[in-house]
Each structure stands twice: as C-alpha cells, then as structure tokens.
Amino acid sequence: MILIDVDGTLVDTVPDLAFCINEMMAQLDMPRRGEAQVRLWVGNGTERLIKRALTGRMNGEPDEDLYQRALPIFLDFYAQNISKRSRLYDGVREGLAGLRAADMRLGAVTNKPECFTLPLLKQMRLLDYFEIVVSGDSLPRKKPDPLPLLHAAEVMSIAPAHALMLGDSETDVIAARAAGFQIVCVSYGYNHGENICDANPDAVIDSIAELLARAA
C-alpha cells in the first residue's frame, strides 16, 4: 500500500491558493501576499494558511475577530477556484496508472479539508486511482499525527510495515515515522523553503514515475 499526499506531491495548488489569499486580503483592506510567499506557507491545513497570511508569520495568531471575518471569505473564493490554475506535476498520471497496474493499493492522505480535497481530485481526474481518501478533517487529528496513516492502513487491512507514505514535507516524514511506514519524498513540493533531504526520508525522488521504477 502507498499513501500519497496531495498538495505539493500530486498537484501544484499554490496558484489557486495564492489567488484566493490575495482576494481575501483585498477584501479585508490588507496587503496582498505574493505567490512565492504563499508557496512557503502551504502544508499545514487551511486554517494555518489563513493565519499565516493574516499575520505574515509561520506561527502567528491573528486577532480572533479578524480570523473569523477572513475564514468565510477565503473558503468562498477557494470553493470557486479549486483547480482553475492548479496543475499536475510531471509524471503524476503515468506514475499512478503504473502503480495501479503493478497491483499497488493506493490511498490519498492530505491536510486539506474534505470539501476541497474530493472536488480537487475529481476535477484533476485522480480520484478513481485511490481506494481511500483521508482529508484534514476526516479524523480528530491530522498529519503530522500518525492517525490518518494508521486509519488508512486499518481500513485497507495493511500492516504499517508493508506500507509506504509518499509526500513532500517534513510533516509527511514525521507522520510516517510515527506510524511505522516507510517514507519517500518528492524533491519538488512544499516544505516551507527547507531542503526535504534534511528531514531524512528513506529516499527522495524527482517524479512518481521514479517510485514506480523502484517498486518494480
């Protein structure tokens, strides 16, 4: 079994996220945030992304009233812009098809809320590759907690020792290690500007097609 992260691993969603963050900030009469900055902030769920945009800091906590005003603005914009500017990374569709053809069981595990995850996967024509999709609000805890990975393994009746997580960030590495999974990371994703090699995954690959070659 291979569990795969979505944002930064399968799909480059930053162009849509940045557009929605900028529109949210404009409606709040606050400075827009550039796409390059949003790219550094993605990876810990919608709520944290909004808080980072409002404060300009990775762990900033905005005024609660401001956050409550910002949240529905962003959610409304993103519901209308889930995949208008997003794109698949090179080799994703071929890699997923090849893994399925090689009898690998696939699941998706993301910190993105389900109301955005399922439409994104459907609109990008990826949903049918996965037996299970675990989103950021599917369970009481999300990555880096191991619960989403362990839940998927239990549902699919796979022992963690026979499972692999494919992701793009230290969050994925921490979750996989805690769950007893192997962990492979892509070199191109979102990791807050840090080199993913510094997180010490089992391997770093440049495309999912390379994972297929390793599996073979």
Q: What pLDDT score was predicted for residue 45?
A: 87
40 and 110 in a common domain: no
69 and 26 in a common domain: yes
59 and 37 in a common domain: yes
> Under DSSP, is residue 152 helix (H, G, I), strand (E, B) or coil?
helix
29 and 53 in a common domain: yes
Q: 215: pLDDT confidence band, cut at 50, 70 and 90?
A: low
Phi, psi of 121, rounded to the nearest 5 degrees: -60, -40
Domain termination site, one of 79, 100, 127: 79
What's the whole-number average pLDDT of the chain? 96
207 and 136 in a common domain: yes
Give the tens place of pLDDT for each residue, 187-204.
999 999 999 999 999 999
- Domain range for 44 is 14-79
Q: What is the CATH number of the domain that holds 70?
A: 1.10.150.240
Positions marked active-site: 5
What's the CA gap between 107 and 102, in Å, rounded?
A: 15
What's the CA gap between 75 and 98, in Å, rounded?
A: 35
Torsion of CA 108, 111, 114, 116, to 10 degrees: -100
Q: What pLDDT score was predicted for residue 209?
A: 87
CB 205 within 8 A of CB 196: no
Q: What pLDDT score was predicted for residue 212?
A: 78
98 and 48 in a common domain: no
Q: What pLDDT score was predicted for residue 10?
A: 98
Give the tens place of pLDDT for each residue, 16-40.
999 999 999 999 999 999 999 999 9
58 and 107 in a common domain: no
Pair of tokens at residue 121: 């996967």
Domain termination site, one of 79, 100, 128: 79
CB 159 within 8 A of CB 167: no
Give the tens place of pLDDT for each residue, 107-155.
999 999 999 999 999 999 999 999 999 999 999 999 999 999 999 999 9
Q: What is the CATH number of the domain that holds 120?
A: 3.40.50.1000
108 and 64 in a common domain: no
